[in-house]
Structure 1
Amino acid sequence: MMQLVYDSLTGNVRRFAEDVSRQLGGMPLFAVSKAQDLPDDDYLLLTYTFGTGGVPASTQAFLQQRAAGLRGVVSSGSFHWGQNFARAADVIAGQYGVPVVAKVNKAGSAADRMRVLAWINEQEERAGNSKDVEDVN
């Protein structure tokens, strides 16, 4: 079963991850700071972009320990950073050979959540673990 792993500085990514988890009926959700509690299953990483396009040190440290289950990445950012908007997703995708599932502005929108939910559902169906998405409104 897919899990959600998040790293959040301001709470935006945490709220986004909690919303996605709730809409999937309580999909397992872990903070990178609790990596020791993460089962050895596949996961979607949700993180933020630090500074002018960097991957947070806490996310980097987590990936050094637990990269094996990484299946995709979502990053938040702010549109005002232009080409560096949510760039952490591009960096992680390039380093680990996984898809960028979404780049979200701050705490994301309903459309962002639907994009992530659709990707998770596709992955779960491929693995034979179909999840029902709850109403996102």
Structure 2
Amino acid sequence: MQDWIYYDSKTGNVDRFVHKLKAQTGWFVQRITEDLSVSQPGHLITFTTGRGEIPESTAKFMQQNATFIKSVSASGNRNWGLNFGRAADIVSTLYDLPVLFKFELSGSMSDVQQFINKINEYHEYHGNEESHYC
């Protein structure tokens, strides 16, 4: 099964994480753009901005494409304390999605492997429930 990863990146941290992920798995990765309309179910990776807020670009993407998103993950900085990766928590609450993973900055190779494991666990738990996303 090929997974789709939709991602938003401002400083390049999420971009670097996603490209490490793609190199390990061959999964499809698509950077969020203002006019992106998706047709494949996938997982969202975003970043946290401000004081633990969702980036405006991620918010717009979710308004248009939420029905295709199966989980949310976020990059952050542990120096932000409780706001670390908080964008994932907010998206999770707004769209009733599981928070799959949070990683610091661009993530380590260990983080990439943990994310892959989380995606695989998601599929084991949810099976092929993808029909309601179409």
Q: TM-score range by the shorter chain?
A: 0.7 to 0.9
In the alignment, is the contact (CA less than 8 A) between 1:50 and 1:56 conserved in 2? yes
Q: Which runs of 5+ in 1 are unaligned?
A: 128-137
Query: TM-score, with normalisation over the residues of structure 1?
Result: 0.84
- Write out per-residue CA displacement over residues 66-93 of structure 1, whole angstroms, 9 at most, x where no aligned residue: 0011111110111111111110010011
- How far, CA to CA, are the matches of 1:84 and 1:62 in structure 2? 22
Aligned twin of 1:62:
61
Bigger Cα displacement from structure 2, 83-92 vs 115-124: 115-124
For structure 2, list consecutive stretches of 5 or more residues without a partner in the other structure. Answer: 129-134
Q: Distance in 1 between matches of 2:23 and 2:122?
A: 17
d(CA) in 1 for partners of 2:46 and 2:93? 15
Distance 1:115 1:27 in 2: 15
Q: CA RMSD in A?
A: 1.7
Whether 2:29 is the aligned partner of 1:32: answer no
Q: Paired residue for 2:13?
A: 12
| 2:120 maps to amino acid | N
CA contact (8 A) 1:5 1:32 kept: yes
How big is each residue's C-alpha offset from its partner over 1:93-121, in whole Å with a ceiling of 9 and x where there is no partner? 11111111111110112222112101222
Percent sequence identity over aligned pairs: 36
Aligned length: 125
Partner of 2:80: 81
Deviations 1:29-66 (A, max 9, x none): 10110623x3x221110100001100000000000000
Which amino acid counterpart does residue 66 of structure 2 have in structure 1?
A
Distance in 1 (CA, whole Å) between partners of 2:20 and 2:123 is 18
Output aligned runs, 1:1-137, within 5 Å. Answer: 1-24=2-25, 26-33=26-33, 35-36=36-37, 38=38, 40-124=39-123, 126-127=127-128
Asked if the contact 2:76/2:102 (under 8 Å) is kept, the reply is yes
Query: Is the contact made by 1:75 and 1:89 (CA closer than 8 Å) also made in structure 2?
Result: yes
